[in-house]
Chain A
Amino acid sequence: MKQHTGMVGRLATLRLLAQRFAFLTLVMASFALMLLGKADTVLVERFRVFVDDAVTPVLQVMSRPAAAVSSVFNAIHDLAALRAENVRLTEENVRLMHWQTVARELDNENRALRAQLNFLPGPEAAFITARVIGDTGGAFVHSMLLNAGTRDGIRKGQAVIAGENLVGRIAEVGDRSARILLLTDINSHIPVVIEGSHAKAILTGDNSDRARLNYLAPNSAAVPGNRVVTSGHGGAFPPGLPVGVIASAQDGIVRVEPFVHRYQLDYVTVVDYGLPGVLPSDLPDK
């Protein structure tokens, strides 16, 4: 009998040891995963894409009621601001009518000049519109999940726009899902120019709502209110895509408020400009 209890006790100790060992192994595995992820291996990316593809149908279903809830909230919000909004829109309309006239004149002039110069237009861009099914808010990542992937023609490195404005670029693409890296993400670096002054800079996110302008020439004028557009350098994006306006310029830190706010995004357009991308990893994988 005594021998028996001794055996049970030993078994219990062994089990406890095994549990501790399993726990430590899992902790080591977490660190190993971090290192593997940092090394950007193909294996990790395939795995991520696989999981993204798997959760896409679930998120697609879950995002419907969420959209309904948010539309109710927005309707209440809009109702309260209806009058002020109406006044603002009327004023804006007057201003835009003026711009429309200017744009028509410019368009005519442009066409006439092109005809004189024998100008060759660039290749037509291809569009894919997709629904945002995952907005992974959060302090660490600014990214979004789309319900379209390689089977719809989306490739890594393509530009994502909403209306006319830049949202980000495709960072990962699965069979039926794709992940956008927003321009406010800490890993996003976009070559831009300040409109008017033609000062070049790199727009770098830091996971706050406003991205920073880095590598700006010290004497270049960055005045709040100036528009920032893509420069087209590096070949990742075509030049001239609107990005945002300079919101603040203090102590040499220039911050840009993007035109697009992530909470507004319901549908986005993925554009294939036929550009090779800035890094070898951005090459469209055929």
Chain B
Amino acid sequence: MKFNLWQRLDHLLRQLLPASLVVFLALLQAVPWHLPQFAGVVPLLPMIGIYYWSLYRPDLMMPWVAFLIGLINDIALGGPIGISSLVFLGIQGMTSSQRRFFNGKSFLMVWSGFALLAAGGVLIQLTLSSILFGRTPIAHALLVEYVLTVFCYPLPSWLFSQLQLSWLRE
């Protein structure tokens, strides 16, 4: 069976969907919301995307994709480069290797898995940036960010599953 140009383009665009969604989340973090209550804290949204797609479509969230998204994330946030790349790679690697464990498990299980991995990711981030800065940044903002991220998880995850159902049927 031969595909014409449009079909191939359509296929390519669908394949790019997960990565572009995570890049969108990374940029969303950098948008100024002007909310005094949330000044200085942002939920680490791209982590959710990396976790979700590594779990459900690891073929579309390859290690190099996670690496590149991490690079964009670090630059968009103005932080030291390479840290998010490493953290996202770690999440991608851990999740895609544990797919069999999560297979058929309840949403709560998957959510707890994310909470655990995100905690690891945040700790790595804190350690590495302390080493790079030579001083430890104030950690309580990071704690708020972590809690926000874990509580945010269901919404993007639900959106992703809807998009996956309508756009990425295997």
Give me the interface of A with B, judged by CB distance under 8 Å.
19, 22-23, 26-27, 29-34, 36-38, 44, 47-48, 51-52, 55, 58-59, 62-63, 66-67, 69-71, 73-74, 132-145, 172, 179, 186-187, 206-209, 261-266
Contacts and interface: CB of A to CB of B under 8 A. Distances in A.
A233 to B, nearest CB: 23
Given A48-B75, A140-B77, A261 B31 contact: no
B39 A140 contact: no
B34 A137 contact: no
A187 to B, nearest CB: 7
A229 B36 CA distance: 24
Interface of B: 27-36, 38-42, 63-64, 67, 70-72, 75-83, 85-86, 89, 93, 125, 128-129, 132-133, 135, 137-139, 141-142, 145
Main secondary structure of the interface of A (DSSP, over half): helix
Contact of A59 (B27, B89, B133): B27
A186 B137 CA distance: 7
A59 B36 contact: no
Nearest to B37: A263
Of listed A19, A139, A141, A144, residue having the most chain B CB within 10 A: A139
Contacts of A19: 63
A62 B138 CA distance: 29
B35 A139 contact: no
Contact of A63 (B32, B72, B79, B80): B32
Given A22-B63, A31-B82, A262-B40, A139 B142 contact: yes
Given A26-B63, A30-B85, A33-B71, A136 B30 contact: yes
Given A23-B89, A27-B89, 14 more contacts: A19-B63, A30-B85, A34-B80, A67-B34, A69-B33, A134-B76, A137-B42, A139-B137, A139-B139, A139-B142, A186-B135, A208-B141, A263-B33, A263-B39
Contacts of A22: 63-64
Contacts of B71: 33, 51
Contact of A33 (B30, B31, B41, B81): B81
A76 B78 CA distance: 32
Nearest to B28: A62
Nearest to A131: B32
A118 to B, nearest CB: 47
A26 B83 contact: no
Interface pairs A-B: 9 shortest CB-CB: A33-B82, A135-B32, A34-B82, A70-B34, A30-B86, A143-B78, A139-B142, A207-B137, A139-B141
Contact of A37 (B34, B81, B141): B81
B86 A132 contact: no
B40 A138 contact: yes
Contacts of A134: 30-32, 76
A206 B39 contact: no
Of listed A23, A47, A74, residue having the most chain B CB within 10 A: A23
28 contacts: A26-B63, A27-B89, A33-B81, A34-B80, A37-B82, A47-B75, A48-B81, A51-B71, A59-B31, A62-B28, A63-B31, A66-B31, A66-B32, A134-B31, A135-B32, A135-B33, A137-B40, A138-B40, A139-B141, A141-B77, A141-B78, A142-B40, A179-B78, A187-B133, A261-B39, A263-B34, A263-B39, A264-B34
Contacts of B83: 30, 34
B76 A136 contact: yes
Nearest to A69: B33
A206 B33 CA distance: 22
A53 to B, nearest CB: 11
Given A209-B39, A262-B39, A132 B32 contact: yes
B97 to A, nearest CB: 10
A186 B82 contact: no
B33 A51 contact: no
Given A34-B132, A37-B81, A26 B64 contact: yes
